[in-house]
Homo-oligomer: A and B are copies of this chain.
Amino acid sequence: LTAPGTQVVDIPSGLPATVSSPTADDPRLRRLALNQKTIERWSVPEAVAGCVRTGLEAIGLWREAVQAYGLADSARLVADAGLRVSSLCRGGFFTSLDDAAWKRALEANRRAIEEAATLGAECLVLVVGGLATGSRDLPAARTRVAESIHELLPHAVEHGVRLALEPMHPIYTADRGVVATLSEALDIAERFPVDAVGVVVDSFHVWWDPQIDSQIARAAGRIASVQLADWITPLPHDALLARGMLGDGHIDLRRLVALCDQAGYTGDIEVEIFNADIWAADGAAVLETIRRRFIEHVS
């Protein structure tokens, strides 16, 4: 393995001889999408320009960045660039047990649905939220997730937006996402029409799961988004920024993507990495590294 954390951006001369240098129209890159959070400093126009320059066909957008540039302007920019919007991140955080706070969260999600529709996003990613403040009642928080999807469904259907329920690594169960496994996400998603509610398969969140093979197979038709980041050790100090560059860690990414392909997934594959070292690096160099690593470790 590449030594973790030592080098977040490849030096081109260090490219293994067995991997031919990717070009802008390389078919192996056809499904690669940049989740814009991977290069956090880039605005929507910078991220779009980076994707176009690198020959990518899709981008995953974040609401904060979209709002900063303007929703209508962002929609026009990606459309003019001919990019698919592989996902909009993110809705969710609707596990409050306080009814007034819960209703506010649902309203905020309705706005997110509208934004996803305006952008023509393939799906709206839902990070469901952790335990309610002061609560240790995990079953109650999980029930709230299903109730929230039920409440949001009509608005999502009306706007033609697919909701994408994201199971999160158990490191985040307490404070970010009480849905901890793909199995649990599917238990909820399967109560709703397949076109309206899908799931996210994010390598960082699900790679450890002993049931992952059977659950990805079960998810056939439900996979709304595939996202990639590596699991690196030692784990970076900030749990929220613990994700590694493809190939720097322990996940067999090619195997995970193959499982999704076998389940019939033909959509984009986003690279979504939250990592302080990567955020500090030059954006164009990071995107170059992603291109190379995607071929070495995924496609």
Q: Does A233 contact B (CB under 8 A)?
A: yes
Q: Does A251 contact B (CB under 8 A)?
A: yes
Nearest chain B CB to A164 CB, angstrom units = 19
Question: Is A171 in contact with B170, judged by CB distance below 8 angstroms?
Answer: yes
Question: Is A209 in contact with B233, judged by CB distance below 8 angstroms?
Answer: no
Question: Is A184 in contact with B210, judged by CB distance below 8 angstroms?
Answer: yes
Nearest chain B CB to A196 CB, angstrom units = 22
Partner of A210, one of B180, B210, B234: B180
Q: Does A158 contact B (CB under 8 A)?
A: no
Residue among A136, A231, A251 facing the most chain B CB atoms (10 A cut-off): A136
User: Given A171-B171, A210-B142, A235-B171, is A136 in contact with B181 using a C-beta cutoff of 8 Å?
Assistant: no
Nearest chain B CB to A287 CB, angstrom units = 24
The interface residues of chain B lying within 8 Å CB-to-CB of A173 are 207-208, 231
What are the interface flags for A237-274 relative to B under an 8 Å C-beta threshold, 1 for contact and 0 otherwise? 10100000000011110000000000000000000000
Residue ID in chain B nearest A231 by CB atoms = B174
User: In A109-167, which residues have CB < 8 Å from any B CB?
Assistant: 131, 134, 136-138, 142
Residue ID in chain B nearest A249 by CB atoms = B174
The 7 closest A-B pairs by CB, nearest first: A173-B208, A170-B208, A136-B252, A174-B250, A184-B210, A237-B237, A235-B239
Q: List 29 A-B contacts (CB under 8 A).
A: A1-B134, A131-B250, A136-B250, A136-B251, A136-B252, A137-B252, A138-B208, A169-B171, A170-B170, A170-B171, A170-B208, A171-B171, A173-B207, A173-B208, A173-B231, A174-B208, A174-B233, A175-B233, A175-B234, A180-B208, A180-B209, A181-B209, A181-B210, A183-B210, A183-B211, A187-B210, A234-B239, A235-B239, A237-B237
